[in-house]
Structure 1
Amino acid sequence: MNTKSLHFILTLSCGLFLLSSCGNTQEKCELDEKILDVPIDLSIVRLEKQFYTASTEEEFLFLLEEYPDFAKDYLEVELYESKEQLAQELMFINQDTLMQELYAEVQENYPDLNQLDQDLSHAFAYIKYHFPDFNTPKVYTFLTGFSNDLYISDEMIVIGLDYFLPKEHEFQPTDLPRYISDRYDREYIVPMVVTAISSKYNKVDPKQNTLLAEMIFYGKAYHFTKSILPCTADDFIIGYTSEEVVACFANEEFIWSHFIENDLLYETNPFEIRKYTGEAPATDVISQDAPGRVGRWLGWNIVDDYRFNNDISLDELMEMEDVEKLFRQSGYKPRQ
């Protein structure tokens, strides 16, 4: 074991101690009632129930007519010779034994969507409060056969509920490594949706292609999500375990020194950048025990400090494209 790994493991032990002493802080959080009063018209439509109980071509054709946005943008009906051809393919999928088993499991694990409806309504109210131009999209749930976890546009959101079965469930997406599939649980649905929506407001300068620019982009995305979901634990926003979050804070000075000593902030090589912000089980160039995407986590801290140390609203933050100015004015220093 190298020295870097040993250092990270030792401070992970300290992190676990910190976690046990502050694990209940999230329970004390309260949402802003003034923001929750922002009117939001949300109704989640469970399309998996309608499509997986249909049995005739006529019923499928009716559904395609009833939900034209879903048929056009999600099912991509225009790629088929006719709606009848798409209806026949949907019938074939519907009759598959494994798909019916998967549908039954989704219904058992999601007998209702009351909590999801409430959480999305609160999130949309917060977004509308900070960004008055936000319009509540239509929200559908569906059974995708592990082909699409989330579809998000300004007008429509489709949630593939099969992706969000319990992580120990026998049905799991086969094309994802475990360190990614572990994030696909019900607690992650709303943070994933909000983070995706953040891209609409997250302005960037395309000429800035440094590691710092990518760190700040993700930092703004996570800061947006935390601002919209203030009572959601960091774990569900960045996709780390609680232990990894606390260990990262315990090792923040160690992580930051790696970036500074190796002159990484203005690195432009995409292969080098990916080592620190790309999906991976670990950021092993720092330590085999450092979680992957640690550059994104560090960018989040920089953005948090910038917002804390400057009188700036969330919409102004998201509009800011000057990465260098944001970094300089953040006053960022690793937590002690």
Structure 2
Amino acid sequence: MNDIKTVVIVLFITLIIAGCGRSGEECNLPEEYLDIPVDLEIVRMEELYFEGLTREKLLEYQDQYPEFSAAMFDNMGFADQDQMAEELIKIHQDSGMQELYREVKVHFDDLRSIESSLEDAFRGVKYHYPEFTIPKVYTFVSGFGSDLIVNEDIIVIGLDYFLPEDHPFQPVDLPYYILKRYNEAHLVPTIITALSSRFNHTDVQDRTLLAEMIFYGKAYHFTKTILPCTPDEYIIGYETEEITGSYANEELIWAHFIENELLYETNPFEIRRYTGEAPFTDVISPDAPGRIGRWMGWNIVDDYRINNDLNLQELMQQSDAREIFRKSGYKPR
């Protein structure tokens, strides 16, 4: 085991492969996606709450946008409507919040790029799931209180989280390896990955590492199918060198899982080592990216769908992780 670990460390440092697998290739969206009509309007709620907010306007917005109000404010513990109005006005008139809002306005003055990317994504979802209803999409500035809310009916984008990496306003409670994924390039893939959960059938009784790997693998496969032109880096949140290093060392990474009999591990602490947020997967190598089990699950799911000639709905409906693994015929590249 120590010999394999040493080899992995060396190879992660020294090996670069010429191709990036699914990343970095020329791509056009499928024509069948582009023919699907999508009616999307992004409502900029920050403009309503930060410019001349009064009690009367606030109560009007509560009535006009009930889904947004429920998503953003129902869990804030207000005793009644009077307290809610008083506190929300105080929050949105705060000088620091006003400055943050002005910075968001500068950097996100035009949302056409995000809107276009979301429209393409929703076209892809509707192609595979014709009954899919486009959720209402709102933007807001929460003072780094809420980055994304994604559910069946509503999406709320906390634009303050997606300011440029070098901007002086940054959330203070996030480590860099997570913070680096908060940018516009990762935004739509993150939304679609979150949205995939409603289609991702799972066996809740299966609490193995394999089940968690397959769950994430299906989520990333879903996102890649919906956004085929999006590089893997923006789907899983790895750097380019982490993608190429993982492909270069896939056989050795897989050997670690097999030799340590990890696939059917049920200890939550052990599972977290391979699928939880971390700067690296230290039990394999300090150069192995974190969440490497999710990446392995993605490869298994890719092989399962290809080798069994399934459409996306059929893949997402399969809840048996062991069956997916068994029929994937997975072998490291």
TM over 0.5: yes
**Which segments of 5 or more consecutive residues in structure 2 lack a partner in the other structure?**
none
- After superposition, the C-alpha distances for 1:156-190 in whole angstroms (9 at most, x for unaligned) are 10000000011121111111111111110111110
**2:103 matched residue in structure 1:** 105
Describe the shift of the 1:9–1:190 C-alpha distance in structure 2 as closer, same or farther (beyond 3 A).
Answer: farther
CA RMSD, 1 decimal: 1.8
Could you tell me which of 127, 133, 136 is aligned with 2:134?
136
Q: What does 1:1-336 correspond to in 2, within 5 Å?
A: 4=5, 7-15=8-16, 18=18, 26=24, 28-76=26-74, 79-335=77-333
Matches of 2:202 and 2:75, distance apart in 1: 33
SS of residue paired to 1:235: helix
Letter in 1 for 2:260: N
Instruction: Report the TM-score, using the length of structure 2 for normalisation.
Output: 0.95
Letter in 1 for 2:14: S
Letter in 1 for 2:276: G
Matches of 1:43 and 1:97, distance apart in 2: 30
- After superposition, the C-alpha distances for 1:98-148 in whole angstroms (9 at most, x for unaligned) are 111111111111111001100001101100110122100000000011111
SS of residue paired to 2:156: strand
Describe the shift of the 1:309–1:187 C-alpha distance in structure 2 as closer, same or farther (beyond 3 A).
Answer: same
Q: Is the 8 A contact 1:12 1:250 kept in 2?
A: no
Q: Is the 8 A contact 2:13 2:287 kept in 1?
A: no
SS of residue paired to 2:15: helix
Shift of 1:83: 2.7
Shift of 1:42: 0.7
Identity across matched positions, percent: 55
Letter in 1 for 2:9: F
Describe the shift of the 1:77–1:267 C-alpha distance in structure 2 as closer, same or farther (beyond 3 A).
Answer: closer
Shift of 1:91: 1.2
SS of residue paired to 2:114: helix
Matches of 1:7 and 1:153, distance apart in 2: 40
Matches of 2:212 and 2:21, distance apart in 1: 30
Q: Is the 8 A contact 1:199 1:221 kept in 2?
A: yes
Matches of 1:23 and 1:153, distance apart in 2: 31
Matches of 1:161 and 1:293, distance apart in 2: 26
Instruction: Report the TM-score, using the length of structure 1 for normalisation.
Output: 0.94
Shift of 1:69: 1.4
Q: Is the 8 A contact 1:191 1:237 kept in 2?
A: yes
